Amino acid sequence: MRAEEASSTRTQKKGMPWIKIAILVTVLMIAGAVAVQYLKWQETAASEKRLAEQSAVQRKQNSRKAVEDAQNFLNQGDLAKAERSILLAEGLDTDGELSGDIFQLKAKYKILKAKADEELEALKKREAKADEIISEINNLLAGAEIEAILSQLKNKLSSLDQIEKEGVSDACRKRIGQINSQIDTSRREANIKRLQNLLAEVVSLQTEEEVAGALKAIQARAARDPIPEELQEKIANASKELQQRLQTIQVVKTFQVNLSKENWIDAEQSITAMESLGLGDAQIQQYRLRFQELRAHAEKRDRRVQMLMNEFKSMDTSRFNAAAFSKLDQILEIAPEHAEALALKKRLSTTLDQIRVPGDVADIDEAVKWVNSGGRILLGEGLFYAEIELEKSLKIEGQGVNKTFIESKCAHGPAIYIKQKEGKVNIKGLTVKGIGYIDDQHRHALILVASNAYFENCEFVKAPGHGVAVIAGKLEMKGCKVSQSGWDGVTIKGEDSQAALTDCLFDENAEHGVDFWDGASGTVFRSKIASSSGSGLVVTGGSRVTLAQCTVEKNRETGVYIADGSLVKMDKVLSQGNLLSGVAIQGDLTSVEMSIVASAGNDQAGYFIQGNPTIHGLNRATAENNKQGKIVRK
């Protein structure tokens, strides 16, 4: 057993080297294979690394290229491509190296995108407005003749043009072009139609204005657009006819002007021109007869004018002469532009600055007619009858009271009515006499002042109504006497009426001596008011008067009567011998200021006061021998 085991062991020992070799070879083979595989792996890894490195470089290059492209697209305004490039750059920039640039690109993109959106919205609004205007134009074209709406269309086309300049899409631009073309076509068609109508109206045109207007209109419309051939000949014929007719009208008009100016040679030449233009024989004969008739009339007139001129020259003494002036007036009535007569009248008009009555003319009315504005009429002694209206500034001077008399026989109108618009009427040194009192409520004043007047050293006596009436006028009287009037001596009415009466006597008048009423104003100074059938001085209706250095006496009612809110100042006034009170003051709004006022010998109170008027200085006023004492209040 042991021997077998030993033998087996020896046998095993003899076979072990081959096994080892086999194992070694196997191991070596495996190791070789592993080594080869390892080498291959290393080579692959190196290759992959190289590829990865190359890919990273490419991505970086592509990322930078995408950033650059995005910037270019943004600059070009191509936002869609810019957006794609930004997204590509963002995807490729894995290491964030270009994140700052990409952030800036995104910010710029957002700004440009917002601006683009705004512009798109504005574009939509512009195109909506353009479509609205186009719709309005279509409505206008459908509802009216195009020539009636040209101004409206012009405004709307101007608006479309402005919208197009601001920017619109091609489709909108096309719509605008279509409406422009439609309007242009409609306008051309209307122009042709109007031309046809004008040509049809040519026959009926008569006046110069109509013919000239039609000719101008036809020529203007013919030049405006291309004209169809069938109309061109008609337009040429109509223009020729209108031009000839216009020439004829103008020649006839020139003829008429020459007739009116009495250019007989030129007028006859106009008739010859009518013949050359082919005017009808009947019309030419009519114009020739008219020419002969007017020339004969002018020759007759000229003979009449020459005769009057000869008569004037025989009377002319270079001084005022009414008869000679009358000859000049007759000449100018016949021939208003007669140069010699106009020059003579201008030269002699200076003699009208002063006219004597009698002497230069026979009466006052004629003197008033002839005298220049601002001139003077000198009245001699004696009696003159007159009812005159003075409508210009002048002076009338007599020889003195009771030497020069103006007498009126009219009861229903003033002897002198003063109503000039400028300047002043001055009357001095005469007596004006009326017909005296008449029982008629419409009796008029002897003198009516409705403007600006000055009377000095005059007497006004026996007026049928007021002696002097001031209504909407201004009067100054100095050293005058007004007596025996059928109503007030002087009456001043209204807020726009004033009177200044100085050194005057108002005596024996049928109503009041002096009466300020209805808001009138004025002064009475150094004057006497006496023997009136009513009161001496009356101030009512809110009038404002100053009475100074005056005597008021022997009136049948109150000496001085003040009422109705009037304002009166009294200084150095004596009221005496009146049948009622010396001074009567009535009304709560009435105001009186007294300074040295005396009331004496009156049949009632010195001062009669009714209501609560404002009175200053009453305590200083004196009163003597009045039957009811100094003051009576009610």
**328 falls within a domain:** yes
**346 falls within a domain:** yes
Beta bridge partners of 393: none
Give the integer Cα–Cα distance in Å for 418 and 19: 174
Whether the ω angle into residue 464 lies within 30 degrees of 0, i.e. cis, is no
Q: What residues contact 75, with CB distance under 8 A and at least 6 apart?
A: none
pLDDT bin (cut points 50, 70, 90) of residue 443 is low
The answer to whether 164 and 180 are in contact (CB under 8 A) is no
**229 falls within a domain:** no
For residues 472-490, give the mean pLDDT. 97
The answer to whether 267 and 291 are in contact (CB under 8 A) is yes
- Mean residue pLDDT of the chain comes to 86
Does pLDDT of 445 surpass 80? yes
pLDDT at 44: 64
Per residue in 521-533, pLDDT (tens digit) is 999 999 999 999 9
Give the integer Cα–Cα distance in Å for 252 and 236: 25
pLDDT at 53: 57
Give the integer Cα–Cα distance in Å for 373 and 315: 25
**300 falls within a domain:** yes
pLDDT bin (cut points 50, 70, 90) of residue 4 is low
Which of 267-306 are b and which e, b meaning 16 or more Cβ less than 10 Å from the residue's Cβ?
beebbebbeeeebeeeeeeebeeebeeeeeeeeeeeeebe
Select the more confidently predicted residue: 44 or 619. 619
Beta bridge partners of 616: 593
Beta bridge partners of 390: 418
Per residue in 230-249, pLDDT (tens digit) is 777 777 777 777 787 778 88
Does pLDDT of 380 surpass 90? yes
Give the integer Cα–Cα distance in Å for 279 and 284: 7
Q: CB burial class (10 A; 0-12, 13-18, 19+) of residue 408? A: buried
Residue of 532, 521, 466 lying closest to 499 (CA atoms):
521
pLDDT at 308: 87
Beta bridge partners of 597: 573
pLDDT at 124: 86
Select the more confidently predicted residue: 519 or 169. 519
**292 falls within a domain:** yes
Q: CB burial class (10 A; 0-12, 13-18, 19+) of residue 207? A: exposed
Select the more confidently predicted residue: 497 or 308. 497
Q: CB burial class (10 A; 0-12, 13-18, 19+) of residue 89? A: buried
pLDDT at 142: 82
Give the integer Cα–Cα distance in Å for 396 and 428: 6
Lowest mean pLDDT among 116-125, 203-212, 284-293: 203-212
Lowest mean pLDDT among 5-14, 487-496, 507-516: 5-14
**268 falls within a domain:** no
Does pLDDT of 210 surpass 90? no
pLDDT bin (cut points 50, 70, 90) of residue 502 is very high
Give the integer Cα–Cα distance in Å for 546 and 205: 77
Q: What is the domain range of residue 316?
A: 284-352
**293 falls within a domain:** yes
Within a 13 Å sphere around the CA of 392, how many CA atoms are in the beta-carbon half?
13
Q: What percent of the chain has pLDDT above 90?
A: 41
Residue 158 to residues 130, 161, 548, 606, Cα–Cα distance (Å): 11, 5, 82, 92
Lowest mean pLDDT among 194-198, 529-533, 542-546, 619-623: 194-198
Does pLDDT of 69 surpass 60? yes
Domain count, the chain: 1
Give the integer Cα–Cα distance in Å for 469 and 515: 10
The answer to whether 490 and 449 are in contact (CB under 8 A) is no
Amino acid at 530: A
Per residue in 148-170, pLDDT (tens digit) is 877 887 898 888 888 888 888 88
Which of 335-373 are b and which e, b meaning 16 or more Cβ less than 10 Å from the residue's Cβ?
beebeebeebbeebeebbebbebeebbeebbebbebbbe
Give the integer Cα–Cα distance in Å for 17 and 24: 10
The answer to whether 249 and 214 are in contact (CB under 8 A) is no
Give the integer Cα–Cα distance in Å for 430 and 397: 7
**298 falls within a domain:** yes
pLDDT at 384: 94
pLDDT at 603: 97
Q: What percent of the chain has pLDDT above 70?
A: 92
pLDDT bin (cut points 50, 70, 90) of residue 52 is low
Q: Which long-range contacts (CB under 8 A, 24 or more apart) does 481-485 make?
A: 481/401, 481/505, 481/506, 481/507, 482/506, 482/507, 482/509, 483/459, 483/507, 483/508, 483/509, 484/436, 484/437, 484/508, 484/509, 484/510, 485/437, 485/446, 485/460, 485/509, 485/510, 485/511
Does pLDDT of 276 surpass 80? yes
